[in-house]
């Protein structure tokens, strides 16, 4: 392998690693705030990429119908409670927000397909469709079980993953999609071509991480979420509602997932089930960080990207196996350094 | 007898099935049976042990591929490939368990996801195993010269395995090892302090689940006579878990119910949904995913408990057969040092919970540890019993340093303890709870339990538990759910459980809290008797009268350190003690 290939693979590895790092951060964030191991993280990547591709093809993406269906579900659940509390005045707003808005969007897309819109607007619309799916799923699937054990929440996550992949197949079909790059620019570094899109991915990931940092350090919502991750009971006693922490963290996770999907859609063909593998690689990174440390998780994820790139060159058939066996030494080390018996909650 | 009736009817119906049903339904029932075997393993792992695995399909695949490869490429008899497949599966399961089981409960399922995916890619890409095309022409099983070629013929073998697995699981859960497994969910700390090796118990649950899956795979390969990687994918692994969750992960029959329902539902949906949606694909995953979430929200115990009338599942009130006595440890010579702690310090971050605590407990004495709330008494208990090791300082139990010991090792060496916040398994009978205390005094294992070869020892263990319950005055409650007792009685159950381990040293954390006056008197009498037998007792208690009547020596703690030590009547007049209890009156 000459240096040019080495560089090319390294570029691939770092680009993918940056995406994995973003996902790893989202997974750590969701786990520490809610104890949910968010397996469906990867589905948001696929949904983001494929929704964008659908919009660009002039279709009304199926994710919009999902948004409508979940919104209607939440409207019913919350509506029943509002009626029970005799707060009838809040009903119109609830219905408009949960059902009216998606319907309006669908009508708009029917009337004026988004294919001809500027790319930035298409991306914004994609985010507007996919990101709310996060908190809606939290409200419907996780919130009623918020007090359950990590194990039950994990089973819910896996069930959601199963359902979302099936829906992905229904919405987008078995064909993969690739979107046009945001930039055609490319440079040559040390004889190897460097794609502008790859640089964009890395820069955007870094910016997103910086934005997350600022959010946690500066904003009151970010601080509340950070308090929840440190001590759930304590935060609750301070008036931070667990439900709002849950919805906020899943909003962030969905946003990170959708943004990752939009970023890598021009670099690789995304199928309805691609997201899962991408998400799991973020997971391997997160596990390297023990599902607790942000910087270690991010570094671990970049390592996963590099390992994957180089193993795809040497043993491409086994690259998935190699990546997933990376967690074995990590888990082994963690296992050998832990000594106390953990009490599993009921 | 009436309880056996539904079972007998079920078995008769099962037996008649292939004689009357069309081929398609026999095939479905075969698949339901194969899935039920896997789901039964998940009942043990998830419903009982509180762990889970998404990688069971890969263990099925391991069993199936082992026999497929060995029988087609090397002409090995299928009856030999079964044990070989089981051995291979055991090796993989133990490796995965070894790596993940000492950590939090969610690492095992995560590792099984990785294992499930790796298996799929590994076998899909391995040339020798036929890649994604798989291996065909697997020979049929033959039994005494009779070839089980058709699905109808194999049906009886499949369902025989299911019924044997159900029976074996039931037997196992009603045994010494079974109680240890049932303690994993919500009772790991307690079980460790009774001498149960909880990582080992978890490994056993995971291992048995994997072996059941592997057996199912072996049957699958000889039923289908062809294997490829796709039925062993992660999705299938998730589906097995779905079966257990739907049916009821806490019950063996729940697994059978779930496997049957899901298999039928899947066949129906796979036919219906593509026609309905106008495209081909496995859309049943959408229904399964949503259904799993709904069931977890509305009926977390699954459907089986809903079918059964609410009430005790097992004929619990069984007679206790007369049994001999378990061997006991030789009594210690009064006055020998049992426990010696010096300079024990425990920090939690910036908080100094124990600050250089030293104390000695001898055989045949009651040492009371008193002090205001938050003085660090329970923390010290956890250090002494190795539930949570001290930051610094040395502790010796009967001369042996305990720094490297886990709580279970100390328990096995003769230290019994109770907890300030009662740790009982609320839905287990009082008798069984106490029998966990005697865990380390038995040795019959999982296989003996599943085959009911452990009954002699089991009688001894239960007799010991009943005897200790009699000593604490709870003979009337042997078969009640532990959770139904009053708090005071639950404390007595904890004492009985500690006594069932035949300890040299007894650590009691607030044993008299919640007891009525007469119960306290009875407890004090019991503790005096134990002391006279040579037992050493370390007691944390707030009831000063109780302590002063009983204790030989008293250590008073405040802010993590000892502020006074000596005979009860002396300590009682110590000004520092008065200040600690009555507030800073000295300066005022």
Residues in chain A with CB shorter than 8 Å from the CB of B284 are 166
Please report whether residue A134 resides in a domain.
yes
Distance from the Cα of B229 to chain A's closest Cα (Å) equals: 14
* Cα(A259)–Cα(A255) distance, integer angstroms: 6
- Which SS3 state, helix, strand or coil, does residue B344 take? strand
Distance from the Cα of A67 to chain B's closest Cα (Å) equals: 15
B209 has pLDDT over 60: yes
Name the helix (H) or strand (E) containing B369: strand B366-370
* Cα(B496)–Cα(A13) distance, integer angstroms: 61
A232, B166, B445 from A217: Cα distances, Å: 18, 55, 55
Q: What is the DSSP letter of B331?
A: P
Shared domain check, B569 and B451 = no
| pLDDT given at position A200 | 87
Lowest pLDDT segment from A136-145, B141-150, B268-277: B141-150
Q: Least CA distance to A40: which residue of chain B?
A: B289
B219 or B542: which leads in pLDDT? B219
Query: B132 in contact with A at a CB cutoff of 8 Å?
Result: no
Shared domain check, B526 and B478 = no
Read off the pLDDT of residues B293-322 as tens digits, 9 standing for 90 and up. Answer: 999 999 888 888 888 755 444 445 566 777
Q: How many domains, chain A?
A: 1
* Cα(B81)–Cα(B68) distance, integer angstroms: 9
Residues in chain B with CB shorter than 8 Å from the CB of A327 are 110-111, 114
Contact B102 A284 (CB under 8 A): no
Q: How sure is the predictor about B145, in pLDDT bands with cuts at 50, 70 and 90?
A: confident
Pair type for strands B226-227 and B135-136: antiparallel
B320 or B159: which leads in pLDDT? B159
CA B172-B173-B179 angle, 5° bins: 115
> Which of B102, B192, B286 is closest, CB to CB, to A166?
B286
* The domain boundary residue, chosen from B204, B234, B264: B234
Mean pLDDT in residue range B409-421: 92
* Cα(B582)–Cα(B433) distance, integer angstroms: 39
Please report whether residue A104 resides in a domain.
no
Domain that holds residue A257: 34-59+113-272
Please report whether residue B464 resides in a domain.
yes
Given the structure tokens 């200790």, which residue do they identify? Answer: B468
Choose among A24, A41, A42, A23: nearest CA to A291.
A24
Please report whether residue B96 resides in a domain.
yes
| pLDDT given at position A346 | 42
Residues in chain B with CB shorter than 8 Å from the CB of A145 are 296-297
CA B522-B525-B526 angle, 5° bins: 90
Contact A155 B288 (CB under 8 A): no
Please report whether residue B9 resides in a domain.
no
Long-range contacts of B265-271 (CB under 8 A, 24+ apart): B266/B239, B267/B28
Please report whether residue B304 resides in a domain.
no
Distance from the Cα of B565 to chain A's closest Cα (Å) equals: 31
Instruction: Note down pLDDT in tens along chain A; length 346 residues.
Output: 577 788 888 888 889 899 999 998 898 888 888 888 899 999 999 999 999 999 999 888 999 999 999 999 999 999 998 898 888 888 888 888 888 888 988 888 888 888 888 889 999 999 999 999 999 999 999 999 888 888 889 889 999 999 999 999 999 988 888 888 887 777 777 677 778 888 888 888 889 888 888 888 888 888 888 788 777 778 888 888 878 888 999 999 999 999 999 999 998 899 998 898 898 888 888 887 766 677 888 888 888 888 888 888 877 777 778 887 777 777 777 766 655 445 444 4
Largest CA distance in chain A: 72
Name the helix (H) or strand (E) containing B115: helix B107-125
Give the total residue count for chain B: 588
Reported ipTM: 0.89
* Cα(B326)–Cα(B438) distance, integer angstroms: 9
Please report whether residue B320 resides in a domain.
no
A195, A268, A292, B395, B496 from A21: Cα distances, Å: 20, 17, 14, 45, 53
Contact A145 B296 (CB under 8 A): yes
Please report whether residue A277 resides in a domain.
no
Q: Which tokens sit at A70?
A: 């979940």
What does the DSSP assignment read for A250-273? Answer: HHHHHHHHHHHHHHHTTTS-B-TT
Please report whether residue A346 resides in a domain.
no
Shared domain check, B133 and B216 = yes
User: Which residue, among B108, B110, B276, would best test binding to A if mutated, counting the most A CBs under 10 Å from its CB?
Assistant: B110
| pLDDT given at position A125 | 93
| Whether B357 contacts B341, CB under 8 Å | yes
Please report whether residue B15 resides in a domain.
no
Shared domain check, B545 and B458 = no
Distance from the Cα of A228 to chain B's closest Cα (Å) equals: 19
Query: A320 in contact with B at a CB cutoff of 8 Å?
Result: yes
Name the helix (H) or strand (E) containing B505: strand B505-509
* Cα(B57)–Cα(B63) distance, integer angstroms: 10
B242 has pLDDT over 50: yes
Q: How sure is the predictor about B587, in pLDDT bands with cuts at 50, 70 and 90?
A: very low
| pLDDT given at position B579 | 80
Residue B231, judged by CB atoms within 10 A of its CB (0-12, 13-18, 19+), counts as: middle
Mean pLDDT over each residue of chain B, to the nearest integer: 88
Shared domain check, B520 and B456 = no
| pLDDT given at position B319 | 63
Lowest pLDDT segment from A194-198, B486-490, B536-540: A194-198
Cα separation of the two ends of chain B: 76
B588 has pLDDT over 50: no
> Which of A141, A280, A320 is closest, CB to CB, to B121?
A320
Q: How many domains, chain B?
A: 3
Find the Cα–Cα–Cα–Cα dihedral B215, B221, B222, B225, rounded to 10°: 180
Query: B320 in contact with A at a CB cutoff of 8 Å?
Result: no
* The domain boundary residue, chosen from B467, B500, B533: B500
Given the structure tokens 């109808």, which residue do they identify? Answer: B152
| pLDDT given at position A136 | 95
Contact B289 A318 (CB under 8 A): no
A24, A60, A319, B294, B548 from A16: Cα distances, Å: 12, 29, 14, 35, 70
B27, B57, B221, B243, B584 from B156: Cα distances, Å: 12, 23, 16, 22, 80
Residue B583: which residues within 8 A CB-CB, separation 6 or more? none
The CATH number of residue B545's host domain is 3.40.50.300
* The domain boundary residue, chosen from B197, B213, B234: B234
Please report whether residue A18 resides in a domain.
no
Edge-first strand order for the sheet with B366-370 is B415-417, B505-509, B536-540, B366-370, B553-558, B561-566
* Cα(A198)–Cα(A266) distance, integer angstroms: 9
Shared domain check, B494 and B401 = no
Given the structure tokens 């829906």, which residue do they identify? Answer: A167
Q: Which tokens sit at B449?
A: 């339990």
Find the Cα–Cα–Cα–Cα dihedral B36, B39, B44, B49, rounded to 10°: -160
* Cα(B454)–Cα(A298) distance, integer angstroms: 52
Q: Which tokens sit at B390?
A: 């001290």
Query: B107 in contact with A at a CB cutoff of 8 Å?
Result: yes
Please report whether residue A131 resides in a domain.
yes
A189, B376, B406, B578 from B347: Cα distances, Å: 54, 11, 19, 27
Choose among B359, B372, B313, B420: nearest CA to B551.
B359
Choose among B234, B169, B179: nearest CA to B452.
B169
Task: Report the predicted TM-score, pTM, of the whole model to 2 decimal places.
Answer: 0.89
Domain that holds residue B120: 20-234
Shared domain check, B582 and B435 = no
Residues 483-522 of B with CB under 8 A from A: none
Shared domain check, B341 and B223 = no
Shared domain check, B118 and B96 = yes
Q: What is the DSSP letter of A89?
A: G
Shared domain check, B513 and B495 = no
> Which of A145, A158, A344 is closest, CB to CB, to B105?
A344
Distance from the Cα of B27 to chain A's closest Cα (Å) equals: 26
Shared domain check, B458 and B374 = no
> Which of B99, B114, B235 is closest, CB to CB, to A162?
B235
Residues 375-434 of B with CB under 8 A from A: 387-389, 406-407
Query: A316 in contact with B at a CB cutoff of 8 Å?
Result: no
Please report whether residue A339 resides in a domain.
no
Distance from the Cα of A33 to chain B's closest Cα (Å) equals: 16
CA B191-B193-B197 angle, 5° bins: 55
Choose among A223, A281, A169: nearest CA to B113.
A281
Shared domain check, B86 and B164 = yes
Contact B279 A346 (CB under 8 A): no
Residues in chain B with CB shorter than 8 Å from the CB of A336 are 102
Contact B117 A161 (CB under 8 A): no
* Cα(A263)–Cα(B534) distance, integer angstroms: 74
Given the structure tokens 């790991």, which residue do they identify? Answer: B188
* Cα(A65)–Cα(A48) distance, integer angstroms: 14
Cα atoms found within 13 Å of the Cα of residue B127, Cβ hemisphere only: 0
Please report whether residue B51 resides in a domain.
yes
């Amino acid at each position: 392998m000459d240096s040019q290939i080495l560089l090319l693979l390294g570029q691939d590895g770092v680009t993918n690693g940056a995406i994995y790092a973003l996902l790893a951060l989202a997974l750590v964030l969701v786990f520490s705030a809610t104890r949910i191991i968010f397996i469906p993280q990867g589905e948001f990547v696929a949904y983001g990429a494929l929704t964008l591709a659908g919009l660009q093809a002039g279709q009304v993406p199926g994710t919009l119908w999902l948004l409508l269906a979940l919104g209607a579900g939440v409207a019913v659940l919350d509506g029943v409670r509002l009626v029970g509390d005799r707060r009838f005045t809040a009903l119109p707003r609830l219905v408009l927000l949960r059902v009216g808005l998606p319907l309006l969007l669908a009508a708009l897309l029917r009337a004026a397909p988004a294919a001809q819109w500027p790319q930035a607007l298409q991306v914004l619309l994609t985010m507007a469709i996919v990101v709310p799916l996060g908190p809606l799923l939290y409200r419907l699937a996780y919130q009623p079980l918020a007090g359950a054990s990590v194990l039950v929440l994990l089973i819910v996550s896996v069930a959601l993953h199963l359902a979302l992949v099936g829906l992905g197949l229904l919405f987008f079909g078995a064909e993969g999609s690739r979107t046009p790059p945001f930039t055609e620019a490319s440079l040559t570094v040390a004889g190897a071509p460097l794609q502008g899109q790859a640089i964009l991915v890395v820069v955007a990931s870094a910016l997103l991480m910086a934005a997350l940092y600022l959010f946690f350090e500066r904003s009151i919502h970010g601080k509340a979420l950070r308090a929840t991750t440190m001590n759930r009971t304590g935060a609750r006693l301070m008036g931070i509602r667990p439900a709002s922490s849950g919805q906020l963290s899943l909003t962030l996770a969905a946003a990170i997932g959708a943004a990752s999907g939009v970023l890598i859609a021009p670099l690789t063909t995304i199928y309805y089930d691609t997201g899962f593998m991408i998400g799991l690689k973020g997971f391997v990174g997160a596990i390297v960080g023990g599902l607790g440390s942000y910087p270690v998780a991010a570094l671990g994820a970049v390592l996963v990207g590099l390992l994957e790139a180089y193993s795809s060159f040497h043993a491409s058939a086994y690259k998935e196996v190699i990546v997933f066996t990376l967690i074995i030494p990590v888990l082994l080390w963690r296992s050998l350094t832990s000594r106390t018996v953990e009490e599993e909650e009921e | 007898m009436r309880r056996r009736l539904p079972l007998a009817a079920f078995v008769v119906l099962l037996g008649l099935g292939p004689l009357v049903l069309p081929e398609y339904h026999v095939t479905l029932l075969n698949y339901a049976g194969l899935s039920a075997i896997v789901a039964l393993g998940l009942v043990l792992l998830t419903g009982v042990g509180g762990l889970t695995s998404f990688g069971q399909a890969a263990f099925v695949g391991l069993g199936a591929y082992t026999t497929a490869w060995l029988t087609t490429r090397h002409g090995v008899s299928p009856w030999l490939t079964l044990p070989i497949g089981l051995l291979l599966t055991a090796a993989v399961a133990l490796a995965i368990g070894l790596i993940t089981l000492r950590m939090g409960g969610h690492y095992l399922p995560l590792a099984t996801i990785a294992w499930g995916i790796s298996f799929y890619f590994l076998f899909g890409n391995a040339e020798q195993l036929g890649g994604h095309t798989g291996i065909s022409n697997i020979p049929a099983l033959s039994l005494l010269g009779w070839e089980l070629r058709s699905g109808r013929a194999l049906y009886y073998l499949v369902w025989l395995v299911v019924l044997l697995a159900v029976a074996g699981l039931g037997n196992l859960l009603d045994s010494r090892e079974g109680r240890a497994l049932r303690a994993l969910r919500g009772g790991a700390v307690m079980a460790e302090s009774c001498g149960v090796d909880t990582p080992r118990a978890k490994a056993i649950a995971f291992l048995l689940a994997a072996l059941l899956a592997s057996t199912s795979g072996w049957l699958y390969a000889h039923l289908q006579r062809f294997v490829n990687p796709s039925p062993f994918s992660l999705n299938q692994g998730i589906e097995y878990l779905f079966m257990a969750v739907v049916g009821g992960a806490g019950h063996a029959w729940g697994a059978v119910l779930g496997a049957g329902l899901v298999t039928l539902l899947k066949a129906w949906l796979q036919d219906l949904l593509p026609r309905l949606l106008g495209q081909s694909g496995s859309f049943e995953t959408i229904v399964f995913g949503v259904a799993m979430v709904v069931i977890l929200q509305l009926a977390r115990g699954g459907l089986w408990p809903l079918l059964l009338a609410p009430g005790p599942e097992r004929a619990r009130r069984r007679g206790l057969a007369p049994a001999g006595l378990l061997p006991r440890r030789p009594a210690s010579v009064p006055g020998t040092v049992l426990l010696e702690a010096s300079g024990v310090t425990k920090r939690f971050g910036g908080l100094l919970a124990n600050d250089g605590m030293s104390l000695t407990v001898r055989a045949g004495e009651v040492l009371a540890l008193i002090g205001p709330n938050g003085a660090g008494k329970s923390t010290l208990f956890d250090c002494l019993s190795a539930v949570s090791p001290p930051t610094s300082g040395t502790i010796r139990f009967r001369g042996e340093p305990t720094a490297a010991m886990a709580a279970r090792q100390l328990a096995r060496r003769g230290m019994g303890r109770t907890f300030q916040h009662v740790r009982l398994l609320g839905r287990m009978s009082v008798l069984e709870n106490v029998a966990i205390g005697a865990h380390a005094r038995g040795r019959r294992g999982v296989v003996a339990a599943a085959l009911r070869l452990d009954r002699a020892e089991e009688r001894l263990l239960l007799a010991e538990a009943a005897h200790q319950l009699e000593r604490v005055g709870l003979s009337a409650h042997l078969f009640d759910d532990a959770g139904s007792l009053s708090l005071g009685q639950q404390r007595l159950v904890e004492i009985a459980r500690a006594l069932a381990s035949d300890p040299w040293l007894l650590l009691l954390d607030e044993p008299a809290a919640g007891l009525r006056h007469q119960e306290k008197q009875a407890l004090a009498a019991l503790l005096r008797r134990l002391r006279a037998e040579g037992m050493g007792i370390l007691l944390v208690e707030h009831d000063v009268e109780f302590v002063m009547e009983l204790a030989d020596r008293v250590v008073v703690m405040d802010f993590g350190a000892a502020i006074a030590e000596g005979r009860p009547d002396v300590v009682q007049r110590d000004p520092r003690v008065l200040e600690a209890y009555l507030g800073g009156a000295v300066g005022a």
